Amino acid sequence: MNIDDESVTTLEDLRGDLAQRYKRTASGGSSVDSAIVDADMAALDGDGYVIWEDLLTPEQCRQIREVVRPWLGHTGRNSFEGRRTQRIYSLLSRTRACDGIVANPRVLAVLDRLLMPNYLLSALQAINIQPGEAAQLAHHDDGFYPIPRPREPLAAATIWAIDDFTADNGATVLYPGSHRWGKRRPGLDDQALPVVMPAGSCVFFVGTLWHGGGANSTDRDRLAVTAQYCQPWLRPMEAFTLSISREIARSVSDDIRRMLGYSIHPPFVGAVDGLHPLRLLEAAQDS
Ligand X SMILES: O=C(O)CCC(=O)C(=O)O
Site of interaction with ligand X (CB under 6 A): 127, 136, 159, 172, 211-213, 224
213/236 with CB nearer ligand X: 213
Peptide bond into 150 cis (omega under 30): yes
CB of 229 to ligand X, least distance (A): 14
DSSP of 3-67: S-GGG-SSGGGG-S---SSSPPPPPGGGGS-HHHHHHHHHHHHHHSEEEE-SSS-HHHHHHHHHH
Which has the closest alpha carbon to 160: 130, 114, 125, 191?
Answer: 125
21/74 with CB nearer ligand X: 74
CB of 4 to ligand X, least distance (A): 46
Peptide bond into 236 cis (omega under 30): no
Sorted by sequence, the CB contacts under 8 Å of residue 92 that are 6+ apart come out as: 98, 99, 102, 121, 124, 240, 243, 244, 248, 252, 256, 260
211/276 with CB nearer ligand X: 211
CB of 271 to ligand X, least distance (A): 31
Cα angle 234, 228, 77 (rounded to 5 degrees) comes to 95
CB of 237 to ligand X, least distance (A): 10
3/137 with CB nearer ligand X: 137
CB of 92 to ligand X, least distance (A): 18
Sheet holding 202-206, edge to edge: 49-52, 202-206, 155-161, 222-230, 120-129, 85-88
CB of 160 to ligand X, least distance (A): 10
237/260 with CB nearer ligand X: 237
> Under a CB-based contact definition with an 8 Å cutoff, are residues 129 and 170 in contact?
yes
CB of 129 to ligand X, least distance (A): 6
Q: Which amino acid is at 138?
A: A
28/213 with CB nearer ligand X: 213
19/156 with CB nearer ligand X: 156
